[in-house]
Amino acid sequence: MTHQRIARIVSVGSSVPERIVTNKDLEKILDTSDEWIATRTGIRQRHVFAPGDTARAYELGGKAALAALSSAHRSPQDVDGIICATFSPDFFFPSTACKIQQYIGNSRACAFDVSAACAGFVYALSIADAMIVSGQCKRMLVVGAEVTSRTVDWTDRGTCILFGDGAGAVLLEEYAGGDRGILATYLNSNGALGDILYLPAWGEKRFMKMNGNEVYKHAVRLMVEATELCLAKAGLSIDMVDLLIPHQANIRIINAIAKHMNLPSEKVVTNLDRYGNTSSASIPLALEDAWKDGRIKDGTVAVFTSLGGGLAWGSAVVRF
């Protein structure tokens, strides 16, 4: 019996800056409190580069990519495609993915960036899945790499307390051995809601702006909807899901999604208490935690879901 080609996630890797900023540290520079941040968001600390640090997003992404390759016992030259999701690139061009290609020492892959803000990882994963299933690539790195700390106004307590720097990467391989791999993806956007969360590319005040309440309202509804539609595409029901690995923006958003979907807390992966919102890196960072502590086993069914500026959102259903 021949199996259809499928894209399988074979490993994950990550990299975050060493420097940690706790909620208590933020109390010293902002009119905020550990209590407010922890209860309203679930975040307790985040890894961020020091102001003036010249570290690059592509270096974080490159380190995450090398870690994913190493854990799969693959070398950089084995890769024939690199996609990086980022809203905080080092350059408009070359793309962060091209810089990652150079950083890891690859000379044969196609490489490009995807712009879908916090939904970027799911978007990039979906594109990589299609490229592998169509036969265009055999082994691809999907990277989320962000230096969010350079995009927020550190005097705006409504945004800067939420975000962290970091990168996560997964290695995808063509697989013809059965039903292990990306089973379905679902993507959607609504450009009419672009003004509730945005980061200008030009002008004097190039900082992220967010209407938190509005984003919150759409986030729960749209991530639930995306997950339900994606599961339907995969032919699975919610009780067949072992793990929900959502974008790590706010613990209240995550809990509301889990409640809507009737998922018990032990099936939901969270680590935003330690990393904050790392945008396109948040799902691979959470996946790595789950993988390291044994929650990803042969046959585990996981759902990724995320939403970000655009608005752009989506889900992916994966069997490991």
Residues that are catalytic: 118, 247, 277
Euclidean distance between CA atoms 166 and 49, whole angstroms: 9
| Whether the Cβ atoms of residue 50 and residue 19 lie closer than 8 Å to each other | yes
**Token pair 């409504």 in the structure block, residue:** 158
Q: Does 157 bind ligand UT7 (CB under 6 A)?
A: yes
Q: Does 161 bind ligand UT7 (CB under 6 A)?
A: yes
Q: Does 212 bind ligand UT7 (CB under 6 A)?
A: yes
Token pair listed for 56? 């690059």
Identify residues 97-126 at the interface with ligand UT7 (CB under 6 A): 118
Q: How far is the CB of 279 from ligand UT7 (least distance, A)?
A: 6
- Give the residue, chosen from 133, 158, 236, 260, that forms a contact with ligand UT7 under the rule CB under 6 A: 158
Helix, strand, coil content of the chain in percent (nearest 5):
40, 25, 35
Q: Supply the DSSP string of 269-309, one letter for each residue.
A: ---HHHH-B-GGGHHHHHHHHHHHTT---TT-EEEEEEEET
Long-range contacts of range 251-254, CB-CB < 8 Å, 24 or more positions apart? Answer: 251/41, 251/42, 251/43, 252/40, 252/41, 252/42, 252/216, 253/216, 253/219, 253/220, 253/223, 254/42
Euclidean distance between CA atoms 207 and 215, whole angstroms: 17
Identify residues 32-61 at the interface with ligand UT7 (CB under 6 A): 32, 36-37, 40-41
Q: How far is the CB of 249 from ligand UT7 (least distance, A)?
A: 4
Q: Does 245 bind ligand UT7 (CB under 6 A)?
A: no
Q: How far is the CB of 78 from ligand UT7 (least distance, A)?
A: 33
Identify residues 259-278 at the interface with ligand UT7 (CB under 6 A): 277
Task: Return the DSSP state at 19.
Answer: -
Closest CB to ligand UT7 among residues 101, 278: 278
For residue 22, what are the β-bridge partners? 45
- Give the residue, chosen from 128, 131, 220, 249, that forms a contact with ligand UT7 under the rule CB under 6 A: 249
Taking phi over 0 as left and psi of -120 to 50 as alpha, with beta for the rest, 52 belongs to left
The region of 50-58, 86-94, 104-112, 215-223 touching ligand UT7 under the rule CB under 6 A is 215-223
The region of 30-38, 47-55, 176-184, 261-269 touching ligand UT7 under the rule CB under 6 A is 30-38
The region of 140-148, 183-191, 212-220, 226-234 touching ligand UT7 under the rule CB under 6 A is 212-220
Q: Does 219 bind ligand UT7 (CB under 6 A)?
A: yes
Number of H helices, E strands in the chain: 9, 13
Binding site for ligand UT7 (CB under 6 A): 32, 36-37, 40-41, 118, 157-158, 161, 212-213, 215-216, 219, 249-250, 253, 277, 308
